[in-house]
Structure 1
């Protein structure tokens, strides 16, 4: 039976899309109608009704870059820049197994859903279908895959390219038909992949109709390495290789010049902006205002619990504005609407999913979050957006719906036993080689 969510302040994610005393009609997995309760369509007359008690309804938040499998190691490497951090991290992740990856992904998905994230693009070194499997069990939407690298450049790197491709093809066969999962092919980064590998990965991605994911221009040293080796910036070099287009998702993009921004605009590649991670690892601040002025899709990402340390897009929204203002000394350079857009419809655009998710409108998937917000002066369009970006956090998430199904409400998951899962993960960790590596480090 269709469900009508009513008595809510609805933020559709569209321009001017703030509806007081609003309602959302859900039929199956889709949104059938959004509007004021005073203008209900005829089909709403026989629906099941759910009174939201004046709460705020927003589109599900979209995490454009994460590493869920690393969530078991939160807090083990908190200091140093990107390369110092990666070196310190190596002993902790050298013995990771598929089971460890699954445990980490499970923790990550539960945390993301609790924090109002309904879709995530997850990156792993191996086990391309693990995140998709876990996300499906809990009910979250995912774009996932394995990032290949060149063994001769990263001796301990996994997987080799043929294995990553085979795993992804197998995962597509198993999970892509469930309506929640999509997949990509990718490489780790320009400095850890040969040009031959990157072009081959992109060629296979195109053949399968998949997105191509890569970490790019995250750290100044990376840019210096690529410039010394190829005589170009990472973006210029990738453009020359022919691996940038509308299906390319580039994480970080911190160290860009004006020519790099033009390259992104010309190719249509999207950017996953990770403000907390880039700040923690002393990487810098991405030129987000310039990217957005150029019409480049920019979404928000959390990166991993090792480089952040939380999977919280409310934090990323707030930081995305505050860091730009602090760096530019310009209080108008970005605002709450920019951050909210990046966390919703722009994130969907980066992932190539904007026709289905990212905003609340008829015909789209019913992915939404209900927030328990209050304001002493009452909620208005201006105040509610300010509250979402500058004040709200995971503690305000009342419920989460994905594909028309409420998977989290009132602190509890509907499809899993969280306590049982956490107990099993704890027992696994006690016998894992990963625990031994951590103890010896």
Structure 2
């Protein structure tokens, strides 16, 4: 009978006997390495951002309907379909990262992501190809979702493991920084194209430009990732079962609570940064130029603030206190943000409230990542992080736009997005209180 090997034993054996040709990790990850590791996550967010920003146009081109709400609903539904593939990608690609190394997994993931972007960028419209058009679009989004499912687990594990333990928070903070930079670039691209091109030009070909730009960056990312050092080399002498099975058997509680911890952050990110322009234009009938300022403000803060949150996380002995404080503050801001928008308050007041909310969310982002990462041993860390993030983002972030669009249509209440965000905040806070913070695997 085959003997079962625990993952604590696997970690011990890997630490004791790395193969002679295993690449060494530098004592401090340099800027080039950090950019290479977070590039995939950034490009993923950039692509999702521009899809969301042009969702109205995509809805009309691929899902023509006499009802604008129906077209938008189908377009954001396609956005959500890509997220359905994330959990599968997290299990397959996360397990690959744990069994074959972070570097190999990240390189493969970026290649898959490139193919998905290409399918979206060059997909024919409904007038050109009929029903084949939405099929190609959906297939491209599904491939993007599958690759994205493994990206965060492999990349964030690499960031945690690559260097001095006292700087883990600073390194991990690059994940959110890359998301902010990508969202900012995507928002700027959308605003720039909306200003430079006519509406007809945007419908004819302009909406494709951001996807082609993202696709052009992919080869550079692939080249740089191939030069990375490995942080997790598995010895061939160690036999163990699939990391996914071990996670569900030995770490079920951490997985379940971790998924709920993702809920509030991901819904806020996708609604405030991505959905807000469409919400302000279609529901509140505001100018598109005004709606862009909300997304630009949130994205700019996501670019800058996480670094300071990472520094703070490295100085604090525990992760939960800062997460609890920021969660309470963020909850208190949800209703005022949407109320000021709805009642036509000066734009500066709305932007100030959103800025405070985004500062709270981003100052605690590194602590959140470390709280999850430190709950899993190294041999299943990429799978654990990937599954927590992918399942949480799929259930609560990927369909956030679809849910609030549906709520707006069914209830007729412009405050429906605020209701959904407040519900998510309560659930996440409960999961945070139930989380038992420990550092059993912190040094593995």
Higher relative contact order (CA 8 A, sep 6+): 2
* TM-score above 0.5, yes or no: no
User: Which TM class, normalised by the smaller chain length?
Assistant: under 0.3
Q: TM-score, normalised by structure 1?
A: 0.23
Higher strand content, 1 or 2: 1
Higher helix content, 1 or 2: 2
